[in-house]
């Protein structure tokens, strides 16, 4: 088999060759033809290289590839969403090589493989060197794990709180703290010459937009050793903000996963064996942390600046293990206890990180900082506030807004005389788009000239479109999906409405005011920090649809007030949310010491 056949550029990942090399090694140790199951996307060239070998009977991919299947009849299968739903290829090897997370290979996948005649399993995403497991043993273990999980899940729901699960992680975090205490890095002023950002993706979100703004702002200050490593492959939708960074010469690479590294790297002698032992006990989380440790050891940054909670805890702990001098954790909203992604390991690891003086916590709003401090039980001053920043020089001038609005309205079929109520948001539960819709219906009844513009996408889009149709308002609504340049959409609006259940510091409220659009928002999180209520918009202390609708109607029916609010909103946004101020404060977080709280 020729590993050199792998086209790394076609892959969009620089670790395809490492994956193939590890698969080849596993096949050699197996000594029999194998089926290779990829839990992560890998370049077509790498798959072709594997299928060129007689030792690879077939492959199972994390998505359909009809063209590849046509070229290799009977040798390509796939699963949808998870390895639980299989379409096995006609030709199967005696053993299965799993390239991905062991925890995602569940009981149904194991029993399907056993029934199809697969006798053994080799998992490459492990801290330990891969070894063969008899598939019957795998089935038994997965069955036991699933039964225990179901029992504990039901038991926990009935008799135990989420805090009990956190308590288990608190014990493990305390063991980590004892191991790391002897190697604490004191917070000292340092020349932050090499800064490594860490994020899950560059998808179309407000947090990712501020990540992009921060990187470009730092580049504009002359920092030339800026890099970004990311977890997701740079494919749609995770590459939404990629191009501006590449155009600025900022290196963006995917985190090299464990299954793309050699066994000697995973158990490097420079990593304490007790630390490795604890990471093993954390299963998938431990594997993710070790991947970051190895990245940081390879890259040797002066500062690791991570972005958002799941990345913060994994990359933050890894940075301590790797001995990174300064660790900056970007907490971009309210604490994770308000969100569905909240995991029981988050608070224990955050508290461990708070015990190190070289770790800096940032939040983009006063409300978010207070919420994190209360959740973690640390002093409020442990959380630094760095408000979002915008390059307002790139915004259109007030005179340029008129033709921009006209062009946008024409493109989307919105009447030039309509009074447009708009929003820019992810159409998901925490943004409460159905509440937005309920308010819009009431406004539509009171203001016949009103039209409605929804920019964004998400899991509730179909529900929202159906609600619009049921209300008979389809002709007055426009759903545009994601837009790279939201300023054009904002220019077309007469009022902006945000109805979120929870927020950090919403970019869109600042951008709307900068474009001269009055805003109406529910008072959640840091939303109130973005406007001057009564002058640039209205901050609502109620989420009652009738109350909010009345405020919107008053805005639409008072053009003189809208004109005054437009001027005040621009001044307010420019005074408080400039990019230069944000970059100044970010640089201070890289070089100034901060007293740590006890974990």
pLDDT band at 376 (very low <50, low <70, confident <90, very high): very high
pLDDT band at 426 (very low <50, low <70, confident <90, very high): very high
Higher pLDDT, 191 or 535: 535
Higher pLDDT, 462 or 264: 462
Contacts of 65 (CB under 8 A, 6+ apart): 44, 76, 78
Whole-number pLDDT of residue 148: 61
Whole-number pLDDT of residue 116: 92
pLDDT band at 182 (very low <50, low <70, confident <90, very high): low
State yes or no: pLDDT of 81 exceeds 70: no
- Cα angle 99, 102, 106 (rounded to 5 degrees) comes to 115
The Cα–Cα gap between 251 and 257 comes to 18
8 A C-beta contact, residue 491 and residue 419: no
Higher pLDDT, 221 or 273: 221
126 phi-psi bin (left φ>0, alpha ψ -120 to 50, beta other): beta
Whole-number pLDDT of residue 595: 44
pLDDT band at 223 (very low <50, low <70, confident <90, very high): very high
Whole-number pLDDT of residue 401: 92
State the average pLDDT over residues 55-65: 89
State the average pLDDT over residues 293-315: 96
pLDDT band at 11 (very low <50, low <70, confident <90, very high): very low
The Cα–Cα gap between 263 and 254 comes to 20
| Burial class of 26 by CB neighbour count within 10 A (0 to 12, 13 to 18, 19+) | buried
Where is average pLDDT lowest: 190-194, 225-229, 582-586? 190-194
Contacts of 74 (CB under 8 A, 6+ apart): 58, 89, 90, 91
What percent of the chain clears pLDDT 90, i.e. is strictly above it?
64
State yes or no: pLDDT of 5 exceeds 50: no
Whole-number pLDDT of residue 7: 29
Domain boundaries, the chain: 3-148, 171-389+583-591, 394-577
Whole-number pLDDT of residue 141: 87
Closest CA to 482 of 454, 514, 440: 454
**Token output for 511:** 């951008």
- How is the beta sheet containing 495-498 ordered, strand by strand? 477-481, 450-455, 419-424, 495-498, 519-522, 537-540
State yes or no: pLDDT of 305 exceeds 70: yes
State the average pLDDT over residues 422-429: 95
State the average pLDDT over residues 221-226: 92
**Mean pLDDT of all residues in the chain?**
87
For 531-571, the pLDDT digits (tens) are 999 999 999 999 999 999 999 999 999 999 999 999 999 99
Angle, helices 545-556 vs 433-446, to 10°: value is 50
Higher pLDDT, 16 or 558: 558
Whole-number pLDDT of residue 508: 96
pTM value is 0.84
Q: Is 60 helix (H, G, I), strand (E, B) or coil?
A: strand
pLDDT band at 196 (very low <50, low <70, confident <90, very high): very high
The three-state DSSP-derived secondary structure of 356-389 is: CCCEEEEECCHHHHHHHHHHHCCCHHHEEECCCC
State the average pLDDT over residues 361-369: 96
Whole-number pLDDT of residue 2: 33
CA contacts within 13 A on the Cβ side of 2 = 7
Q: Is 85 helix (H, G, I), strand (E, B) or coil?
A: coil
Whole-number pLDDT of residue 3: 32
Closest CA to 212 of 189, 190, 232, 238: 238
State the average pLDDT over residues 569-587: 95
State yes or no: pLDDT of 14 exceeds 70: no
- CATH architecture designation of domain 171-389+583-591: 3-Layer(aba) Sandwich (3.40)
Residue 149 vs residues 106, 163, 186: alpha-carbon distances, Å: 12, 17, 41
Q: Is-same-fold flag (171-389+583-591; 394-577)?
A: yes
Where is average pLDDT lowest: 120-129, 216-225, 442-451, 493-502? 120-129
Whole-number pLDDT of residue 226: 95
pLDDT band at 151 (very low <50, low <70, confident <90, very high): low
Whole-number pLDDT of residue 80: 66
Length of the chain: 599
* DSSP conformational letter for 533: B
For 437-459, the pLDDT digits (tens) are 999 999 999 999 999 999 999 99
Contacts of 463 (CB under 8 A, 6+ apart): 433, 434
State the average pLDDT over residues 528-532: 97
Whole-number pLDDT of residue 9: 34
Give the phi and the psi of residue 358 in degrees, each rounded to 5. Answer: -90, 5
Domain 394-577 in this protein, CATH class:
alpha beta
Higher pLDDT, 309 or 282: 309
For 332-356, the pLDDT digits (tens) are 899 999 988 899 999 999 999 999 9
CA contacts within 13 A on the Cβ side of 454 = 26
Is the alpha carbon torsion for 115, 116, 120, 126 positive or negative? negative
State yes or no: pLDDT of 39 exceeds 80: no
């Amino acid at each position: 088999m020729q590993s050199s056949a792998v086209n790394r550029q076609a892959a969009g990942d620089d670790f395809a060759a490492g994956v193939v090399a590890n698969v080849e090694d596993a096949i050699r140790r197996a000594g029999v033809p194998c089926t290779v199951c990829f839990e992560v996307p890998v370049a077509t060239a790498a798959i072709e290289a594997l299928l060129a070998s007689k030792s690879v009977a077939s492959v199972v991919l994390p998505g359909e590839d009809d063209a590849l299947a046509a070229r290799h009849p009977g040798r390509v299968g796939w699963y949808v969403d998870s390895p639980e739903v299989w379409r096995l290829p006609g030709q199967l090897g005696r053993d299965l090589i799993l390239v991905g997370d062991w925890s995602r290979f569940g009981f149904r996948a194991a029993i399907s493989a056993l029934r199809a005649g697969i006798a053994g399993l080799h998992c490459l995403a492990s801290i330990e060197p891969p070894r063969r497991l008899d598939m019957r043993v795998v089935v038994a273990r997965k069955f036991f794990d699933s039964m225990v999980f179901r029992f504990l899940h039901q038991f926990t729901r009935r008799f135990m709180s989420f805090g009990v699960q956190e308590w288990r992680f608190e014990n493990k975090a305390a063991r980590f703290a004892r191991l790391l205490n002897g190697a604490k890095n004191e917070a000292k002023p340092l020349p932050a010459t090499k800064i490594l950002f860490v994020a899950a993706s560059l998808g179309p979100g407000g947090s990712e937009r501020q990540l992009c703004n921060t990187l470009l702002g730092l580049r504009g200050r002359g920092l030339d050793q800026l890099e970004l490593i990311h977890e997701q492959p740079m494919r749609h939708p995770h590459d939404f903000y990629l191009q501006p960074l590449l155009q600025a010469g900022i290196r963006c690479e995917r985190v090299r996963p464990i299954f793309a590294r050699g066994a000697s790297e995973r158990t490097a002698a420079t990593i304490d064996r007790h630390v490795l032992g604890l990471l093993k006990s954390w299963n998938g989380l431990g594997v993710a942390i070790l991947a970051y440790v190895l990245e940081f050891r390879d890259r040797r940054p002066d500062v690791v600046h991570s972005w958002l909670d799941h990345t913060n805890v994994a990359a933050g702990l890894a940075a301590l293990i790797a001995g990174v001098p300064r660790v900056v954790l970007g907490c971009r909203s309210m604490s994770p206890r308000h969100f569905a992604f909240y995991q029981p390991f988050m608070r224990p690891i955050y508290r461990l990180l708070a015990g190190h003086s070289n770790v800096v916590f940032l939040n983009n709003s006063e409300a978010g900082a207070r919420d994190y401090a209360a959740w973690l039980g640390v002093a409020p001053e442990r959380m630094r506030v760095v408000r979002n920043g915008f390059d307002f020089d790139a915004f259109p001038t007030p005179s340029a807004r008129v033709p921009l609005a006209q062009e946008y309205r024409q493109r989307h079929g919105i009447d030039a005389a309509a009074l447009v109520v708009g929003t820019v948001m992810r159409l998901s539960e925490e943004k409460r788009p159905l509440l937005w819709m309920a308010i819009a219906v009431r406004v539509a009844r009171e203001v016949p000239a009103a039209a409605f513009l929804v920019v964004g996408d998400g899991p509730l889009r179909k529900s929202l479109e159906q609600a619009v149709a049921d209300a008979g308002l389809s002709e007055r609504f426009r759903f545009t999906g994601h837009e790279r340049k939201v300023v054009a959409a904002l220019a077309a609006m007469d009022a902006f409405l945000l109805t979120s259940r929870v927020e950090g510091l919403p970019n869109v409220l600042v951008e709307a005011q900068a474009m001269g659009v009055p805003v109406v928002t529910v008072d959640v999180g840091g939303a109130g920090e973005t406007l001057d209520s009564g002058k640039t918009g209205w901050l609502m202390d109620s989420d009652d649809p009738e109350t909010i609708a009345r405020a919107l109607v008053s805005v639409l029916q008072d053009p003189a007030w809208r004109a005054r609010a437009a001027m005040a909103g621009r001044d307010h946004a420019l005074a408080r949310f400039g990019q230069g101020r944000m970059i100044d404060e970010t640089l201070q977080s890289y070089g100034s010491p901060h007293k740590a709280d006890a974990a």
